[in-house]
Every structure is written in structure tokens, then in C-alpha cells.
Amino acid sequence: MRVAVLHETLPGEERVALVPESVKKLAGAKNEVWIEAGAGEAAGINDRDYESAGAKVTTDRTQLLPAADVLVCVQRPSPSYMAAMRPGSVVLGFLRPLDEPTALEPAIGLKLTTFAVELIPRITRAQAMDALSSMATVLGYKAVLIAATQLPRMFPMLMTAAGTIVPAKVLVLGAGVAGLQAIATAKRLGAVVEAYDVRAAAGEQVKSLGGTFLEVDLGGIATEDAGGYAKELTPEALQRGRDLIAKHARNADVIITTAAVPGRRAPLMMNDEAVLAMKRGSVIVDLAAPTGGNVTLSRPDETVVTENGVTILAPLNLAATVPFHASQLFSRNMASFLQLLGKDGQLNINMSDDVVGPSCVTHQGQVVNSRVASMLAEPVGR
Ligand code: NAD
């Protein structure tokens, strides 16, 4: 199986899909790995490191794409890259199939098999391939650091000769993978942390990290689906959450919002009024920006300073700002997934595999994911 990695082209994308450690592993399992020269540079990895790990490094993209059995990428490749690939070859990466399904339409006509890492099922067997969790870990960590650098205060409680400094108060909204990492990072920096989530299971996890879990009566409705994800709430339940958040936001120095419902717009957790009642100098990082944002006043990839002096950040691609470790985690996830696509060094796609099948968007000229098919009004293939 010939696996190719290109230099990512999205502005600001500094991650690379495979790092030398994974190249070595893949090469040891009878695969060839071709890397475009300079692909790892922004993540601190040079071409020599790839060559030492057993990769062939080439500057010739026109040679690399038609030769590849699998193109592994962080972001979805451009239509012209897809067009240069052979029918039957594979594209694997963050393909955004539910956010931008039409962008995958070229893959149908080109008969490319596309696997979206967003669709990899979160079952025990696929845990090592869970790139969403890997990136959420990076996001939760980095969100706290950018908030700390914006804040006109320090995080820890300090007892100095000049007297005591009180610790910062951090409120985390949504205590999933990113939220829990934000709580852990804020605690390590010495902040006092509160968190809110609609899933009851999140409460124990918040407490085990030393945070205070905020609870609200949502009227006994089901808040969690069978897969352990939050459900889309009723308007009334959402409002009860917002009222509780608004009350606690008034005392917070930093708010990190991470609330998401898979395949839906992010829930609105803070309206204008809640933000305008916060303290001057406080900071909000809205990590839900890529799916519409949790805060009405946040603007994607912009820094907003409100009339009452609250700074709101809404980064769209924060994981790319920690390219070394984000690439390392993503690459390990991809190397695990690639093991399922090859047999004896040959591409061998088994659509009945319980990880491979559900992760696939297009195969042999058809859309095989029913949600994507209905969004594109295409018949579902097999
Ligand atoms: P996510 O990114 O979809 O959502 C982030 C958080 O927002 C979730 O905790 C969710 O409950 C919360 N949320 C949604 N709507 C909300 C609202 N209106 N108010 C407050 N909070 C709201 O989720 P995620 O972080 O990717 O994962 C969530 C959970 O999924 C994990 O904590 C875990 O239980 C499960 N999970 C399982 C696996 C696995 O088994 N391999 C892997 C990852 C996650």
C-alpha cells in the first residue's frame, strides 16, 4: 500500500498528517510512504527525519498523487488534488462530511473512497483512532493558555510580601473531552474552576479534576443519546442552562465554552446580556466557533472587545497552533486506522468492518453514508 502525505495548503494549517514515528511503523508493515518535501516543516519535522524513518521524500506532487493508494491529510484536499488521484484510491482526513457535504461531490464521480475521521465510531476498538478526542485535548489545553495571556490577572493564588493575590475564576461550559482538558489545565495553573454540562456523567469527571459541577433542574428530560453524546435540548431546557450560566458568569474571570451536539449547530449558551453583565477585563474563548459558536457576541477568528471590556476569542483552527503534538496525536490515530485498510502491504477495504464501514463517505462512485446521502439527495450505496 502506497501512502502519501502532502504539504497542507489551508492558510495557517501547520499540522502534518503523518510524523516520522508513524512512517516507521507503516514502512515496517510492508507499506511505502511518500511525503511531499517540506510537509512537516511547520510542525518542526524536517525531510531528513522522514527519510530516516523510511519515507520517500519528493518535491513532485504530480508524481505523488497518481501513485498513491491512500492520501492521508489533515484538511480535506482541494478538488484539483482529488482529480489527480486514481479511481479506487483512498482519501483519509478531516473531510467535514456533515458540515460541507457538497465539497465531497467530486469524489463520487472520481470513484475515490473517502474516509472522514469525524465519522470514526467512538467504540472501544476504535479508541486509538479517535482524532476528534486528540484534537479536543489540544484545544482544551490551548484555550486556557490563550485566555491566560489575555487576562489582566494571574491564575494562581499567590501569597507575597505585598499581600495575597486571589486566584482566577474559570467557568467551563461543556465538560466533554475539550472541556475536561481545559479544567485540568486551568487547575494546574492554580485557578478555581466551575463547569456545566447537560450530561450527568460529566459531573463526576469534573469533580475528579477538582472542579465544581454546576447543576440545574432540566425537568427530567433525556440529555444523552445511546452513544454518550449530548442530545439537542428543548428551548426551555436550554434557557434554564443559560440562566444558570449567566448567574455564574458575573463572577468569572475566564469562560471557556466547548458545548457541541454532533451534526448540529452548537447550542447558544450565552446571549449578549450575559456577556454584558460580566466583569471588565474578563475573557471568553468560544471553542464552538467552527460549528456556529456558543456565545452570541463571538465572531469566528476575530477578537471582539465588548463595550463593558470583555475580550471574546473564537478561534477556528486552534489545534493548528500546537502543530508538533497535534500532528503526533493525529498521526498515531491515522496509523492505527491505516492498519485496517491494508493486508500484506496491499490496499484491502473491508466495508463490513465495524470501524471501516461507518467511517466511509464515498466508495465506488456512490455515497455510502446515509446522513451525507440525504444531505446531497443521493441514493445510499453499499
Ligand atoms: P462534543 O464535542 O460533542 O460536546 C462537548 C460537550 O458539550 C459534551 O460534553 C456535551 O455533553 C456538552 N453539551 C452539549 N450541549 C450542551 C448544552 N446545551 N449545555 C451544556 N453542555 C452541552 O463531545 P465530546 O467531548 O467529543 O465527547 C463527549 C462525550 O462522549 C465524552 O465525555 C465521552 O463520554 C464520550 N466519548 C467517548 C469516546 C469513546 O468511547 N471512545 C471518545 C470520546 C468521547
Task: Write out the chain's pLDDT in tens, 382 residues.
Answer: 999 999 999 999 999 999 999 999 999 999 999 999 999 999 999 999 999 999 999 999 889 999 999 999 999 999 999 999 999 999 999 999 998 999 999 999 999 999 999 999 999 999 999 999 999 999 999 999 999 999 999 999 999 999 999 999 999 999 999 999 999 999 999 999 999 999 989 999 999 999 999 998 887 788 888 777 888 888 898 999 999 999 999 999 999 999 998 878 999 999 999 999 999 999 999 999 999 999 999 999 999 999 999 999 999 999 999 999 999 999 999 999 999 999 888 999 999 999 999 999 999 999 999 999 999 987 777 5
* Residues recorded for the chain: 382
Strand partners, 312: 284, 304
Distances (CA, A) of 240 to 236, 246, 252, 292, 331: 6, 10, 19, 20, 41
**201 Cα–ligand 1 center, Å:** 10
Q: Are 12 and 317 in contact (CB under 8 A)?
A: yes
Which atom of ligand 1 lies at the shortest distance from residue 132's CA? 26
CA of 360 to the centre of ligand 1 (A): 22
Distance in angstroms (rounded) separating the CA atoms of residues 349 and 279: 55
Give the mutation target among 177, 239, 245, 295 for probing the ligand 1 site: most ligand atoms within 8 A of CB: 177
Query: What are 226's three cell numbers?
Result: 445511546
Helix (H) or strand (E) holding 254: strand 254-257
Nearest CA to ligand 1 atom 23: 176
CA of 176 to the centre of ligand 1 (A): 4
Ligand 1 binding residues, C-beta < 6 A: 122, 127, 130, 132-133, 136, 173-179, 196-199, 201-202, 228-230, 233, 238, 241, 258-262, 267
> pTM, whole model, 2 decimals?
0.95
Ligand 1, atom nearest to 175 Cα:
9
Which residue numbers are catalytic?
122, 127, 130, 133, 229
Contact 93, 76 (CB under 8 A): yes
Distance 15 CA to ligand 1 centre (A): 24
**Hey, which of 117, 122, 231, 359 would you mutate to test ligand 1's pocket, going by the most ligand atoms within 8 Å of its Cβ?**
122
Q: Extract the C-alpha cell encoding 297.
A: 457576541
List of residues 6+ apart from 80 with CB closer than 8 A: none
Closest-CA residue, ligand 1 atom 34, reads 228
User: What distance in angstroms lies between residue 230's CA and the mean position of ligand 1's atoms?
Assistant: 6
Kind plus residue range of the DSSP H or E element containing 165: strand 163-165
317 neighbors 14 (Cβ within 8 angstroms): no
Sketch out the chain's domains with CATH numbers.
2-130+324-376 (3.40.50.720), 138-316 (3.40.50.720)
User: Ligand 1, closest atom to CA 266?
Assistant: 15
Q: Report the half-sphere exposure of 217 (CA within 13 A, side-chain side).
A: 1
Q: From ligand 1's centre to the CA of 177, what distance in Å? A: 7
For residue 143, what are the CA distances in angstroms to 43, 211, 258? 19, 17, 10
Which atom from ligand 1 is nearest to the alpha carbon of 230? Answer: 11
Index of the ligand 1 atom closest to the CA of residue 233: 18
- 113-116 and 56-58 beta bridge pairing: unpaired
129-to-118, 225, 366 alpha-carbon distances in Å: 10, 22, 25
How far from chain centre, in Å, is Cα 330?
10
Pocket test for ligand 1, best of 199, 217, 225, 255 (most atoms within 8 A of CB): 199
Q: β-pairing, 360-363 with 366-367? A: antiparallel
Q: Provide DSSP, 36-60.
A: ETTTTGGGT--HHHHHHTTPEEES-
